[in-house]
Amino acid sequence: MRKWVVHEVLADAAYQYGSIPVISGARRLTYAAVYERSVRLANKMEQLGIGPGTVVGVMDVNSHRYLELKYALSMTGAVIHTINFRLPAADMAFTIHHAHDEWLFVWGGFGEMGAQMASLVSQVVWLEGQPDAPGRSYEELIAGGRLELPAQAERVREDDTYSLFYTTGTTRRPKGLRYSHREMLAASFQIAHDLGLHDTGAGLRADDVLMPLIPFFHIHGWGVPFIAPYLGSALVLPEKAGPGEQVQLIRENRVTWSNMVPTQLFMLLQESGKDRGAVLGLKVLTGGSPLSRGLAEKAAELGVQFSLIYGGSDQLGSAISTAAGLAGEERLERLSTRMTPFPMVRVEIRDGAGAHAASDGATLGEVWVQSPWIPQGYVDDFDESRYAFQSGWFRTGDLAVRYPDGSFQVMDRLKDAIKSGGEWIAGSVIESVISEVPGVEAVAVIGQPDAQWGERPVAVVQAAQDLTAGIIQEYLRQAVSQGRIAKFWLPDRIHFIGAMPMTSAGKLHKAALRRPGALSPS
């Protein structure tokens, strides 16, 4: 690589690892073929007027098409807006307008939703399964392009904006974030380096076969589209595969490494449990929400190794769980709870006044992060930027405790934590204990108003079999006697629910559970 610009990564992969496979659905390519297709695509896009600063929205599942666009748009100097197709239609439309998308590349498999978004922009390219609607064909663009880099490719600078994506906006409008080529690559490669150099459950090697389950719209699949060609690793793109198909892809392609949020991990393990050994030895990088003890134990039981990553759209990656020198229960506990900041990343735990909280493993405070890739703020949102980004630091809104060795454990979101009688209750800790009860599929602990204490915890449980509140309450009382949780943390009520509401990022939607009338008396 001569410069830290995105398309140099694929150029190097085509040169160094040209024959390494890239598998997408029924299509089998190589890095050399992906590079050639990307160059032809970029060449044609330049002919069509896509160039420096053009904002191009992309709406697709994890596919070779999306991978090619990430690199082709870099070659033109354009800005890629990765559209979260799991957002409500109104929020999706908001991001397209807010980003000032001029072009939209959209997968025909989205049907009416895709057509609705396509109507919002003047130029549309259909990636596959083109409906009876105005727009160009993706494959025709590639066929019409020359195998010649756009003139702009040599002029792209490391600090040019490469990417624009948005937060999930579960409680308010999504917020936009810009990242330069260098910021995007530095954060992605730091993940690869940390996983390769430290003792983590999701250790990464160049000879691993990677299958990213984190959608490419979410922080570019946590950097995997850049990490895989950087390492020369085989890449399997699952497109629209469900859990059963994912297990089959793992078997057929000998996938050894993947990333996913805990709810995806739960569904994958549930599916593979019918075929014991299907995921044996799989390494998983997970994060986005706390990993429950019950899920961690299930993963270990099925032979899945894992590590936690900490970060988000507003900060990219910041920390990963490691377990040097540990084994058995100690190792499982460490990998599923405590994270160590990346080199060059500073993590501080601060109290409400902004002062440093004690590093005693018990004092709760808000997580503040500083890193080389922290953005300056949210796009065109002065008030939110002024609050969250202060003097080079990003205040995350996460509650955590810090340990003397510098590691930290995220306990809850500030907005989700429960303050009862002036004391914090970390709902995620209670959730982890409840997850150990046989038959519990998902659990959320939320605060509900209380006249005496301000707030009190209520547990919402999705179960696979008949469970009673008494069984769960007895298990929690045992946890109190073992010193795992405080007695005043015991939920006032256990509410059973058929299916948990989920956010567009695949996390439990606690805000929806807190809405008036969401939980009827049980």
- pLDDT tier at 425 (50, 70, 90 boundaries)? confident
- pLDDT tier at 450 (50, 70, 90 boundaries)? confident
Kindly report the pTM of this predicted structure.
Answer: 0.86
Instruction: Return the minimum-mean-pLDDT range out of 38-47, 75-84, 167-176, 227-236.
Output: 167-176
Tokens matching residue 141: 């663009």
Stretch 141-154: mean pLDDT: 97
Q: Name the more confident of 258 and 267.
A: 258
Flag whether pLDDT at 464 surpasses 90.
no
Tokens matching residue 61: 């599942």
pLDDT in tens, 288-299: 877 888 899 999
- Report the candidate in 176, 207, 195, 188 with the shortest Cα–Cα distance to residue 17: 207
pLDDT in tens, 321-355: 999 889 999 999 999 999 999 999 999 999 878 88
Stretch 470-499: mean pLDDT: 90
From CA 268, how far away is CA 266, in angstroms rounded?
6
Bridge partners for 285 per DSSP: 259, 307
Flag whether pLDDT at 522 surpasses 50.
no
Q: Name the more confident of 365 and 412.
A: 365
Structural domains in the chain, sorted by start: 6-180 (3.40.50.12780), 182-340+372-385 (3.40.50.12780), 418-514 (3.30.300.30)
- Report the candidate in 378, 48, 37, 317 with the shortest Cα–Cα distance to residue 56: 48
| 3-class SS of residue 183 | helix
Flag whether pLDDT at 375 surpasses 80.
yes
From CA 339, how far away is CA 358, in angstroms rounded?
17
Mean pLDDT of the chain: 92
